[in-house]
Amino acid sequence: VSSAEIERAADVLASGGLVAFPTETVYGLGAMVVEPDAVQRVFAVKGRPAGHPLIVHLGGVASLDRWAADVPDAARRLGRELWPGPLTLVLRRSERVPAIVTGGRDTVGLRVPAHPVALGLLAALDSRRPGEAAVAAPSANRFGRVSPTTAAHVHADLGDDVDLVLDGGPCAVGVESTIVDLSGERPEVLRLGAITRDELASVLGSTPAVATGEARASGMLPAHYAPAARVVVVPEGDDVGERAADEVARAAGLGPVVLLAPSVVDDLPAEVVELEPAGPPEDYARVLYDRLRQADRLGAAAIVVVPPPAGGIGDAVRDRLTRAERGRGSA
Ligand code: TXA
Ligand code: MG
Q: Where are the beta strands (DSSP E) in 176-323?
A: 178-181, 188-191, 209-210, 230-233, 257-260, 273-275, 302-305
Q: Which of 309, 322, 325, 192 is CA-nearest to residue 262?
A: 309
Ligand 1 atom with least separation from CA of 88: 3
Rounded to the nearest angstrom, the distance between the alpha carbon of 307 and the centre of ligand 1 is 24
* C-beta of residue 196 within 8 angstroms of C-beta of residue 313: yes
Q: What is the pLDDT of residue 274?
A: 77
Per-residue model confidence as pLDDT tens digits over 189-207:
999 999 999 999 999 999 9
Question: Which residues lie closer than 8 Å to 6 by C-beta, 6 or more apart?
Answer: 117, 120, 121, 124, 166
Rounded to the nearest angstrom, the distance between the alpha carbon of 53 and the centre of ligand 1 is 7
Q: Give dist(CA 145, CA 130) in Å, integer.
A: 35
Sign, CA dihedral 269-275-279-281, equals negative
Rounded to the nearest angstrom, the distance between the alpha carbon of 97 and the centre of ligand 2 is 20
Q: Could you list the mean pLDDT of each consecutive 10-residue stretch along the chain, which spans 331 residues? A: 97 98 98 98 95 96 97 98 98 98 97 98 98 98 92 96 98 98 96 96 97 59 75 89 91 91 76 75 93 92 92 94 75 32
Q: Give dist(CA 227, CA 232) in Å, integer.
A: 12
Q: Best mutation site among 54, 55, 157, 182 for ligand 1, i.e. most ligand atoms within 8 A of its Cβ?
A: 55
CA neighbours closer than 13 Å in the CB half-sphere of residue 6 = 18
Residue nearest to atom 13 of ligand 1 (CA): 138
Helix (H, G, I), strand (E, B) or coil at 230: strand
Q: What is the pLDDT of residue 276?
A: 75
Q: What is the pLDDT of residue 273?
A: 79
Q: What is the pLDDT of residue 115?
A: 98
Ligand 1 atom with least separation from CA of 173: 1
Q: Tell me if the bond preceding 84 is cis, omega within 30° of 0.
A: yes
Q: What is the pLDDT of residue 216?
A: 54
Rounded to the nearest angstrom, the distance between the alpha carbon of 141 and the centre of ligand 2 is 7
Residue nearest to atom 29 of ligand 1 (CA): 108
Q: Give dist(CA 141, CA 206) in Å, integer.
A: 35
Q: Best mutation site among 179, 188, 319 for ligand 1, i.e. most ligand atoms within 8 A of its Cβ?
A: 179
* C-beta of residue 83 within 8 angstroms of C-beta of residue 18: no
Q: What is the pLDDT of residue 278?
A: 62
- Terminal CA-to-CA distance of the chain, rounded, Å? 40
Which ligand sits closest to the CA of 224? Answer: 2
Per the DSSP assignment, residues forming a β-bridge with 89 are 110, 180
Q: What is the pLDDT of residue 331?
A: 32
Phi-psi region of 139 (alpha: psi -120 to 50; beta: other; left: phi over 0): beta
Question: Which residues lie closer than 8 Å to 203 by C-beta, 6 or more apart?
Answer: 74, 77, 78, 81, 82
Ligand 1 atom with least separation from CA of 147: 14
How many whole angstroms from its chain centre is CA 290? 13
How many whole angstroms from its chain centre is CA 175? 5
Q: Which of 251, 242, 264, 247 is CA-nearest to residue 308?
A: 264
Please count the other Cβ atoms lying within 10 Å of the Cβ belonging to residue 44. Answer: 10
Ligand 1 atom with least separation from CA of 138: 13
Which ligand sits closest to the CA of 102? Answer: 1
Rounded to the nearest angstrom, the distance between the alpha carbon of 55 and the centre of ligand 2 is 10
Q: Show the ligand 1 pocket: residues with CB < 6 angstroms.
A: 23, 25-26, 28, 52-55, 88, 90, 102, 105, 107-109, 113, 137-139, 176-177, 179, 190, 219-220
* C-beta of residue 124 within 8 angstroms of C-beta of residue 1: no
* C-beta of residue 109 within 8 angstroms of C-beta of residue 127: no
